[in-house]
Amino acid sequence: MVEEVQKKLESELNLFKQCQKEYQKTLNSRQLLSAQLNENESVQKELELMKDGGGEVYKLIGPILVKQELEEAKQNIKKRIDYISAELKRHDDTIATLDTKQDGHRENLTKLQQQFQQEQVAKMRG
């Protein structure tokens, strides 16, 4: 009986650890995305401040600077912000589901641990 509970406990622990790993991974990429969003938003603000014909806009492509129309640059930035926002939302959803999943595992673990201890006591007595 004790062995059975122990086995269950171990498998549950593995599941929990896996869940934790995934959670951390998602959280890291979420952080990266939010940093990118911040940067893109500040670039957008900067481009909005530019007057038409008031200086050129260049885009760094590999090692060279390519001249770009202000309107085009604005559109590109907007597209990128939309994309990053969507990705961010997707990550948030994943994090929320992983959160509940983790809580479930944690609950199971405490239950199994209690059960394990009870079984051990019962075995010692018996």
Among positions 38-57, residues that touch other proteins (CB under 8 A) are 39-40, 42-43, 46-47, 50, 54-57
Integer Cα distance of 121 and 118 in angstroms: 5
* x-marked contacts with other proteins along 79-108 as a string, rule CB under 8 A: -x----------------------------
Integer Cα distance of 49 and 45 in angstroms: 6
In the complex with other proteins, the residue whose CB is nearer, 2 or 23, is 23
Tokens of 7: 């086995």
- Exactly one of 7, 17, 21, 59 binds other proteins (CB under 8 A); that residue is 59
